[in-house]
Structure 1
Amino acid sequence: MNGYERRKQKKIEQIYSVSFQLFSKHGFQKVSVNEIAQNAKVSPATIYNYFGTKEQLYVGMLMNWMDKQLEQYENILDSELSFPEKTKEIMLLEARNLKILSDEFPKFPSSELNRLVQTVESYNEQKVMQFFMKFVALGKQEGFIHKDQTDEMTILYFTMYKNELGRYWAASNEESVYRNMDQWMELFFYGLVSRNQEQEQGEINNSPTRE
């Protein structure tokens, strides 16, 4: 990347950062390109040259934000944490991000909403699904996910669980979610059967048959 490309990329990142702050605070309709340009310290013409329209800027900004969240997921998965701790951190981040997205979508023009939803769905299929396939493979490798369980069902289970966590987050407060997170993880990995009871049941099933 030459000097011009680096400067351009820096401007784009600055525009994305300012746009996210303004759109999140005031909503799509109440933020103008001129206001974004002023806060990003670029000209309005620069924004139009880079993105075309305010709607296209918004979509690009959202994809950029999602890329950064996915990078955090990857860093967690590649960390030295145990698999349950990785799952906990990823699930908390995903629940928080779902809340952000649910707050953002209503701010987008209804006439453009279908296109935005399609873009996000395509992103999920292309990038997020690849990450969760990696997540499932690691869980199976470390013995936390049954090897006979299909990837499709495992991802469905994770998705249902983090969606419910997201709804709980929206209905409660952040402190309550964190306080109860260990119980959420216990239920996620062991269901309503306690870990000790599951181990005891396994010992019974594996013990020699008495005559």
Structure 2
Amino acid sequence: MNGFEKRASSIKAKIMNTTLELLRTTELKRIRVADIARLANVSQVTIYNYFGSKEALVRETFQTYFDGAIADFEAYLAEGHPLKEKIEHIVFLKKASFRDFPPGLIKELMAGDPEIALYIERQYREKSLPMTARIIEEGKESGEIASSVSTPNVLAFIQLFMNQYDRILDMAQNSGDRDGFLEGMLELFFYGLSGKR
């Protein structure tokens, strides 16, 4: 990469990082290219030259963030952790990603941008689902998941849990002991009401 390409890459990264920060704190419809330009210390023309539109900038920021999160998780899986740690990692990874992209914002992005909706569907089908199925199969092989429990049943249970994840995080936040609450939910996820291990 030559000097010009490095500088262009650096400017693009600065604009996308600024966009991510704004998405954490500001409603999507209130974010303006002028605000991004001012906070990133670049001109609006620079943003349009690199991205073409606010929508394309938000889309690329979203996709880059989640591509990085998926790559980090794939690297984590390759380290050979026990099943419970993998699930715990998913919970804390989700917590971080929900800070940056809460479910309401993701729904808004999907509704307003068919390309983001297709991206999320593709990532789920091609990456998340196979990775989760692999974790389940490894858990069965290691005896951490009962062999009598089918992979589709576990996937359905995880999906039910994740569909309510934003509500679970709210309850954890309101409990006064967020980490303890989430640890309790993780225990229930693995061992049920009987707590048998």
Common topology (TM > 0.5): yes
- The residue type paired with residue 140 of structure 1 is K
Which deviates further from its counterpart, 158-167 or 60-69?
Answer: 158-167
Q: Deviations over 1:82-132 (max 9, x none)?
A: 32122112123224534633242476596x255543432233223322332
1:55 aligns with 55
1:34 aligns with 34
1:194 aligns with 195
| Residue 166 (structure 1) aligned with residue 170 (structure 2) | no
* Alignment length (residue pairs): 195
2:179 aligns with 178
For 1:119 and 1:19, locate their aligned partners in 2 and report how far apart those are by CA, in whole Å. Answer: 19
1:90 aligns with 90
Larger radius of gyration: 1
Q: How far is 1:154 from its partner? A: 2.3
1:204 aligns with none
Q: Deviations over 1:36-69 (max 9, x none)?
A: 1232233322221222111111111111221232
For 1:156 and 1:105, locate their aligned partners in 2 and report how far apart those are by CA, in whole Å. Answer: 21
1:199 aligns with none
- The residue type paired with residue 130 of structure 1 is P
Q: How far is 1:195 from its partner? A: 1.5
SS of the aligned residue for 1:184 comes to helix
> Could you tell me the TM-score, scaled by structure 2's length?
0.79
SS of the aligned residue for 2:102 comes to helix
- The percent identity for this pair of structures is 23
> Could you tell me the TM-score, scaled by structure 1's length?
0.74
| Residue 15 (structure 1) aligned with residue 15 (structure 2) | yes
- Superposed CA RMSD in Å reads 2.9
5+ long unaligned stretches in structure 1:
197-211
5+ long unaligned stretches in structure 2:
none
| Residue 142 (structure 1) aligned with residue 142 (structure 2) | yes
For 1:90 and 1:108, locate their aligned partners in 2 and report how far apart those are by CA, in whole Å. Answer: 22
For 1:32 and 1:161, locate their aligned partners in 2 and report how far apart those are by CA, in whole Å. Answer: 35
CA distance 1:12–1:138, change in 2 (3 Å): farther
Task: Judge conservation of contact 1:133–1:151 (CA < 8 Å) in 2.
Answer: yes
2:133 aligns with 133
Task: Judge conservation of contact 2:83–2:139 (CA < 8 Å) in 1.
Answer: yes
Greater relative contact order, per chain length (Cα 8 Å cut-off, separation 6+): 1
| Residue 46 (structure 1) aligned with residue 67 (structure 2) | no
- The residue type paired with residue 53 of structure 1 is S
Task: Judge conservation of contact 1:105–1:113 (CA < 8 Å) in 2.
Answer: no
1:102 aligns with 103
